[in-house]
Structures are given as C-alpha cells and as structure tokens.
Amino acid sequence: MRVIQFREALREAMSEEMRRDKNVFLMGEEVAEYNGAYKVSQGMLDEFGPERVYDTPIAELGFSGLGVGAAMNGLRPIIEFMTFNFSLVAIDQIINSAAKMYAMSGGAYNVPIVFRGATGNAGQLGATHSSNFENWFANTPGLKVVVPSNPFDAKGLLKASIRDNDPVIFMESELMYGDKGEVPEGEYLLPIGVAEIKRKGKDVTIISFGKMMKVALEAAEELAKDGIEAEVIDLRTVRPIDYATCLESVKKTNRCVVVEEANPIAAISSELTYNIQRNAFDYLDSPVIRVNSMDVPLSYAPTYIEAVIPNVKRTIDAVKQVMYKK
C-alpha cells in the first residue's frame, strides 16, 4: 500500500469530495493563493478555481457566518481555521448558529459544514496558539467532534465528515501534517463515533486520541519490555464517544489510563473516567488515572512545554500505578 503524508490524506479527502459534489467548497485564510498555511490545500485552487477555493480576510467570525449561511442553503462548506485558537473569534457562529440551527428550526435546516484546522501544542508558539478545545466543542449538543491520529483515519473520517448533514469539528495537529502512513488508493469512509483498538493487550487499557496516540503507543511498547501488555484504544471522535469499545476493553483488562493533551478540568478524560467508573466499577482493580497537561497556560520555552504536556514517562508511571495499586 502507498505511504503518504497526513496533509496529503486531508487534501485527497477534500479534493475527492469536491469532484464528487459540486456543492462542496473550501474557505479560509491562505487556503488558495498560498496553498494553505500548512500546504494541506496545495494545488486545489488550480484544480477547482477561485469560485470553490476562497481566500478570506483575517475575520473568522465573518467567514464562519458565511459558511453557516451557505450550508443552510444547500452547500457543503469546509471552513479552515489556521489554528483552532482562532475559532474563538467565530465561536458564536459555531455554537449558537451551526450547532443549534437544526433544533431551533424544528428540523427545517440542516447545517452540513466542516470546521477544520490545527489544535493543541505545536511547539514554541506561545500560550495563545497552543490550546486544546476538543472538550469545549464536545460539550455542545448538535456538533460532532473528530480528532484523527494518522493519515488513514484522517482521510476516511474527513470524507465522512464532509458528507455528514450535521456540523462537524475536525481537529488536526500541526505537528502531524508531515506524518506518513499507509492510505489505500481507492475510496473509503470511516464512520464517525467508532473507536479503534490500535494495539491488543490484556493487562491495562490506555485510551487516547489525536497526536497523544503517539505517546500512548510508545508507552505500550516500553511497557511490553516489562511484561505489561497494554491495550491501546484510539477514540478517533470525541463527540460522539464510543463508550462501548472502551468499556468492553476495561472489563477485560480491569485497569485504565486515559491520556489527553488538554488541561484536566472538564476534559474528555474526565468524562471517560466518570463513565468507566460508573459502568465498569465492579471490573476495576484500581481507580482510573488520567494523564493530562498540567493546569497552566503553555509558554514558549521548550523545557516548559516538555514538563507540561503528557509524555511517555508520565504514561508509563500511571500504568504502573494502576497495575500495582493494592
């Protein structure tokens, strides 16, 4: 099977859907003339022209509102944020318009729109460019929230998101755009709301998503050297969450660690921990442990970043704590 970059998988997904459906278009800052801030949309302006690949002003509230209106009138916009930190400027359109329109109109208006872009820490970019908002959007009824961890999942999930009749938040990582992975030539879609077991194991369940899957899988490799076989689950979407897959795994392993880049309060890991301890309590041999970023803004200094965000050592320590707790 061919190997392509994460950014190429996203580009293929958008291009294939734009060829398939004339109502799909891309709008955002630098997506056209500059070929995308991260070169995700490279070549798309040449193929589809300026009527379907739009460069916008630095005005997220404005072009997000245009996208919502277009979706209500039968089009399928893809709105790219250079970073989801900038989506806060547009959050009224996302939360109060896109997410609520179907319910408020009594089902008269679907809003088939995808808001996509980079999320979380991307190196030395400072506090205002390094936040994780997956849990913010996942807290909103009417939205679906997708966070892929590899090129194969990214393509299949983005195609499914574009075809979905509800608004989808599609969150990528700037640090993963150059990642390579196997992606088949033919068309495929992956269902939203279905997790995947990326590594089988019997001793402990590690649940994660997005770029933290790298941490989870590397930790599992190291743990195996000590005779601990971790089962690693990639949520892939955080609204809806595939609780069933997580619970089935925990009932087998009797232990669980959740790894998430976001700050700990009201996080996806908080919801998972509550759900697992409520619905699999009798199967647990120790409490679920969460590995999150520390509860501080992320600064510019690389040593500070390394100390704050989840890493392999902290994940291994958490696993050993749930393994040996009496």
Instruction: Give the burial class of 51: count Cβ atoms within 10 A of its Cβ; 0-12 exposed, 13-18 middle, 19 or more buried.
Output: exposed
Q: Which residues pair with 290 in a beta bridge?
A: 258
Catalytic residue among 29, 60, 134, 231: 60
Question: In the block, which residue shows the tokens 């506090």?
Answer: 127
Catalytic residue among 12, 129, 172, 260: 129
The answer to whether residue 129 is catalytic is yes
Task: Give the Cβ contact number of residue 307 at 10 Å.
Answer: 13
What gap in Å lies between CA 27 and CA 80, rounded to an integer? 6
CA atoms within 13 A on the CB side of 47: 16
Closest-CA residue to 86 (of 28, 13, 158): 28
Closest-CA residue to 115 (of 89, 156, 84): 84
The phi and psi torsions of 148 (rounded to 5 degrees) equal -75, 160
Length of the chain: 326
The answer for residues whose C-beta is within 8 angstroms of residue 27's C-beta and 6 or more apart is: 53, 54, 56, 63, 66, 67, 77, 78, 79, 80
The answer to whether residue 80 is catalytic is no
CB 216 within 8 A of CB 315: yes
What gap in Å lies between CA 83 and CA 141, rounded to an integer? 22
Show which residues are catalytic: 60, 129
